[in-house]
Amino acid sequence: MIAVEARKQALRLRTYIGLGLVALIPIIFTASFKANPPKGHALGLFDLTASGLNIPIAALAAESAFLLIVVVSLFAGETISGEANWGTLSYLLVRPVSRNRVLGSKLVVAAGLALLATLVVPVVGLAVGTLAFGWHPITTPSLTIVSQGSALGRLALSTLYVAWSQAAYLSFAFMLSTMTDSAFAAVAGGVGLGVVSQILNNISALNGTSYIYPTHYLDAWQHLFFQQGSSTEMLRGVVLQLPYVLVFLGIAWWWFNRKDVLS
């Protein structure tokens, strides 16, 4: 069932457009910094062009704020509603397979694609960055030198953190996908949650409550490289996703199991 779903998505142009967009940003970064090397600090890094390892860090920071939200919502929001649009949902559910299994396979593949999209950022960033600026230790803004090996480890941890930090809007788009036949609405819902959460998080009058917004700790991983965030915040960020995931997926399962499938 998971293999079938994976194959269905693997043969879709949309999947490659999503992954391609995500891969494009580190390439654009590298090209533009190669053409116009910034003077001094850029994107919070001490000297961006000093090492290829800086590129994936910068790209991850830039993409997690919006583009990844869009791509992850795209993968999650089209799961069930996309089938409804094709008219294939009925035929998926008239087989001797429980709805739980159908939904589970869809979720596994959507989450797998979201993880893949997040991984593409540092992998492409590392590749093009190293080609352009070489394989050197990085210097953080506090002038600490971080070796290549250590930087790679931190980058891996950061990537997983960013991937998990998208769980709330992934779950939200997935939930909407079980409720509406409009894939667009479900995707837009996921993006909306990510964007609104960031806006609310930036309103200082709401500071007292800002720690509940799903994107509040989105940048906490950056303390591994810059003076921003902390490991405590990272831990909170990880835990913060849980209630969102549980509630949204809980509703998705409840809804889908009692849904009358008319398309």
Q: Is 101 in the site for another protein (CB under 8 A)?
A: yes
Tokens of 99: 């709805």
17 binds another protein (CB under 8 A): no
The smaller minimum CB distance to another protein, of residues 92 and 224, is found at 92
CB 189 to another protein: min, Å: 23
CB of 28 to another protein, least distance (A): 29
Q: How far is CA 23 from CA 93, 164, 224, in A?
A: 35, 19, 23
Distance (Å, rounded) from C-alpha 58 to C-alpha 153?
A: 16
CB of 119 to another protein, least distance (A): 25
Residues 6 or more apart whose CB falls under 8 angstroms from that of 226 comprise 44, 45, 140, 141
* Chain residues 27-86 in contact with another protein, contact rule CB under 8 A: 86
Q: Given candidates 34, 99, 136, 223, which one binds another protein under the rule CB under 8 A? A: 99
* DSSP output for 113-158: HHHHHHHHHHHHHHHHHHHHH-S--EE-TT--EE-HHHHHHHHHHH
Return the residue of 58, 71, 72, 89 that touches another protein, per CB under 8 A. Answer: 89
Residues that bind another protein (CB under 8 A): 1, 3-5, 7-8, 11-13, 86-99, 101, 257-258, 260-263
